[in-house]
């Protein structure tokens, strides 16, 4: 059923590597129908011609977006944006009402996207589809047009963003109400890995207020299931406490 709601929440959308705010167009429109004020962020380094950007630059830019919001926003982080959002939460844990990770999660102190990137490399191009799939980024649900648009609009990741380690200092970030929308990996599998101390998921087990939503699809649900992703984000934005939520109805 197509429903609209009038309670306004400021929702900040942050896409992962190679993407700008444009990636959220279908999701943002649906969230606006639910009465939310939506801001899809294009981080420094994710516009053509911006290669001299590091992780700290991106964290500072998103910090300014959060600070100027009229109220503590709900911040949605997709994929590699999880490191940027974690950095903002570490600086201002009380400035964010809820964080929503989409096929992503909180980053750990000292984490790095790719420490093998050589110092003389300036940027990282979007890999081939086969390389992305082999690395665990599922293309499930993406049409040929989705793939063509992704390839055409993708912006290389500044190498300094990939190389820079994330340094954290305030565990209060772990108390921010959190929703994880699990797409390419079921939430029960993710939680099992977290409890085993898997480095990619270890921080999840330290969160004090966690809600889980399963939305089975690939790594880019803003294209493969945009309507359902918007419904999941809307539910998270209105959530008051952590729990396991049902998969959104199609």
pLDDT tens digit sequence for 28-82:
999 999 999 999 999 998 776 666 789 999 999 999 999 999 999 999 999 999 9
At residue 51, the pLDDT reads: 61
**What's the CATH code of the domain at 119?**
3.40.50.1820
Question: Does residue 150 form part of some domain?
Answer: yes
In total, how many domains does the chain have?
1
Question: Does residue 2 form part of some domain?
Answer: no
Question: Does residue 235 form part of some domain?
Answer: yes
Q: Is the pLDDT of residue 3 over 70?
A: no
Question: Does residue 200 form part of some domain?
Answer: yes
Domain span at residue 69? 10-245
When pLDDT is averaged across residues 133-145 and rounded to a whole number, the result is: 95
Question: Does residue 4 form part of some domain?
Answer: no
At residue 244, the pLDDT reads: 43
HEC per residue, the chain: CCCCCCCCCEEEEECCCCCCHHHHHHHHHHHHHCCCEEEEECCCCCCCCCCCCCHHHHHHHHHHHHHHCCCCCEEEEECCHHHHHHHHHHHCCCCCCEEEEECCCCCCCCCCCCCCCCCCCCEECCCCHHHHHHCCCCCCCCCHHHHHHHHHHCCCEEHHHHHCCCCCCCHHHHHCCEEEEECCCCHHHHHHHHHCCCCCCHHHHHCCCEEEEECCCCCCHHHHCHHHHHHHHHHHHCCCCCCEECCCCC
Question: Does residue 97 form part of some domain?
Answer: yes
Question: Does residue 3 form part of some domain?
Answer: no
pLDDT in tens, 147-180: 999 999 999 999 999 999 999 999 999 999 999 9
Question: Does residue 5 form part of some domain?
Answer: no
pLDDT in tens, 84-134: 999 999 999 999 999 999 999 999 999 998 888 878 888 899 999 999 999
């Amino acid at each position: 059923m197509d429903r609209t709601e009038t309670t306004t929440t400021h929702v900040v959308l942050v896409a992962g590597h190679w993407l700008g705010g444009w990636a959220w167009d279908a999701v943002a429109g649906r969230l606006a129908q639910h009465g939310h004020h939506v801001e899809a962020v294009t981080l420094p380094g994710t516009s053509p011609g911006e290669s001299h950007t590091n992780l700290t630059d991106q964290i500072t830019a998103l910090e300014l977006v959060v600070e100027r919001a009229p109220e503590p926003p709900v911040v949605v982080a997709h994929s590699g944006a999880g490191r940027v959002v974690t950095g903002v939460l570490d600086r201002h844990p009380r400035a964010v009402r809820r964080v929503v990770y989409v096929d992503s999660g909180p980053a750990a102190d000292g984490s790095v996207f790719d420490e093998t990137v050589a110092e003389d490399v300036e940027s990282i191009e979007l890999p081939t589809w086969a390389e992305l799939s082999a690395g665990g980024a599922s293309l499930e649900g993406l049409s040929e047009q989705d793939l063509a648009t992704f390839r055409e609009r993708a912006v290389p990741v500044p190498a300094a963003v990939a190389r820079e380690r994330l340094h954290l200092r305030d565990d209060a970030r772990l108390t921010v109400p959190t929703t994880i929308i699990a797409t390419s990996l079921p939430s029960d599998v993710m939680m099992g890995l977290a409890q085993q101390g898997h480095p990619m998921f270890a921080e999840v087990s330290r969160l004090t207020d966690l809600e889980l939503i399963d939305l089975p699809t690939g790594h880019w649900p803003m294209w493969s299931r945009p309507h359902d992703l918007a419904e999941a984000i809307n539910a998270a934005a209105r959530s008051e406490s952590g729990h396991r939520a049902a998969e959104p109805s199609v």
